Amino acid sequence: MGFAANASFSAAFSGIPTTAVYLRSGYHLGNDGLGLVLGMLGLGIAVSELPWGLLTDRWGDRRVLLLGLLSTVAALAGLALFAAPFGAQVPHIATLALGLLLVGLLGGSVKGRAAAR
């Protein structure tokens, strides 16, 4: 289960930055804005590693991985529904940054397994 969880979250963690050109044009971001929103994903992971690790010690691997991955899916779906540019409407950069921070915080459940050991 750990392998599948790692592969699933790696798709988001590595896949989102590969869309940087589209993020830049779709959200009208400069280099500084792009760096900020992409950095929020990594910040979320770094901040949540220890809490997820402690929760893993208490609840076990499977429960934490399922909770983390299902909530990450919900956060990604929320980003797709409410923070994606649509026509002339472009969400504020803070919406995208907070959404990616949330994805990192929730997806950190995969990385928290290593912090617990």
Count of the separate structural domains present in the chain: 1
Residue that wins the pLDDT comparison between 3 and 1:
3
In the numeric block, the tokens 């590693």 are attached to 49
What is the rounded distance in angstroms from the CA atom of residue 69 to the CA atom of residue 65? Answer: 6
- Domain encompassing residue 39: 2-116
54, 56, 81 from 115: Cα distances, Å: 8, 9, 32
Burial of 61 (0-12, 13-18, 19+ CB in 10 A): middle
- Tally Cβ neighbours within 10 Å of residue 16: 18
Assess whether pLDDT exceeds 80 at residue 113. no
pTM of the model: 0.89
Taking only the tens place, the pLDDT of each residue in 62-95 is 899 999 999 999 999 999 999 999 988 999 999 9
